[in-house]
Amino acid sequence: MKDPWLPQPAVVIDKVMETADVATLALKLVDPVAHARFHFECGQFNMLYLYGLGEVPISIMDMQQGLVLHTIRAVGRISRKLVALEPGASLGLRGPFGNSWPIEQARGRDLVFITAGLGCAPVIAAIRRAIATRPAYRRLVIMQGVKHRDDLLWQEQYERWREVPDCQVLLSASEEKQAHFAWSLGMVTGLIEKAEFDVNNCTVMMCGPEPMIRASMRGLAEAGVGLENCYVSLERNMQCAIGLCGHCQMGTPFICREGPVFRVPDIQQWFLLEGY
């Protein structure tokens, strides 16, 4: 990234509508040298820019076949236009920005992922990397919550993960009324008591709505997990992405520059305060 302020021209190569309002875009930088050099760490984000409209931060879901994947929900003015893009459409891309999940530091430990809704997207690459280097880790526990079963993205992928040795996949639906095979009723935080992992030798990674993260922190603490072993990815109004504009500041840290991934004790004093 020669100039972090300058969006690089990119083009939509492929698009998959995951649900009625969620799409995965596969992007390629127009400059072949820039595209070949593009590299990201699990948990980082890009700024996606639509000419004449502006830009938004979107986590990098993964890279496959050399293409940068972003899974986007149509919730705002720009994200709705991004979801509406079709293959061949042009946009701008700045990034990658931010820090990453502590995948390398967690070698030799149990890995626990707790996500809800589209919070699963920022951890997909981390889970895939852990599975690709499976002997480097102990147990894998993947907990994902949605409102309805049909809201679950990449259901086949979760089924494949169930077949991975020493990998426990737990799914919950908070607004379903009837129990279904391999699903629990209720919030994802209710799955913590069903998860089987070593509370004294684990690294926990969480992403999702902030009430869910707060409830997960309480549940993990009650289970005996030290919060110094827990990490969270946060979202804020990131506009410059390089820690200058201050829109994403939470206490001392800038989410775009020091985050978006934080060790819980490093952000807890502000995260638990109303208004931050």
> Chain centroid to CA 155: how far?
16
The set of residues, in sequence order, having a beta carbon less than 8 Å from that of 8 and lying 6+ positions away, is 29, 30, 31, 34, 92, 93, 94
Of 259, 194, 276, 215, nearest in space to 57 by CA = 259
pTM strictly above 0.85: yes
**What's the angle, vertex CA 66, arms to CA 63 and CA 71, rounded to 5?**
35
CA-CA distances (angstroms) from residue 64 to 39, 61, 70, 152? 12, 10, 11, 21
How far is it, in rounded angstroms, from Cα 158 to Cα 146? 13
CA-CA distances (angstroms) from residue 25 to 132, 150, 194? 23, 20, 35
pLDDT tens over the chain, length 276 residues = 678 889 999 999 999 999 999 999 999 999 999 999 999 999 999 999 999 999 999 999 999 999 999 999 999 999 999 999 999 999 999 999 999 999 999 999 999 999 999 989 999 999 999 999 999 999 999 999 999 999 999 999 999 999 999 999 999 999 998 888 889 999 999 999 999 999 999 999 999 999 999 999 999 999 999 999 999 999 888 889 988 898 988 889 999 999 999 999 999 888 877 767
Contact 47, 56 (CB under 8 A): yes
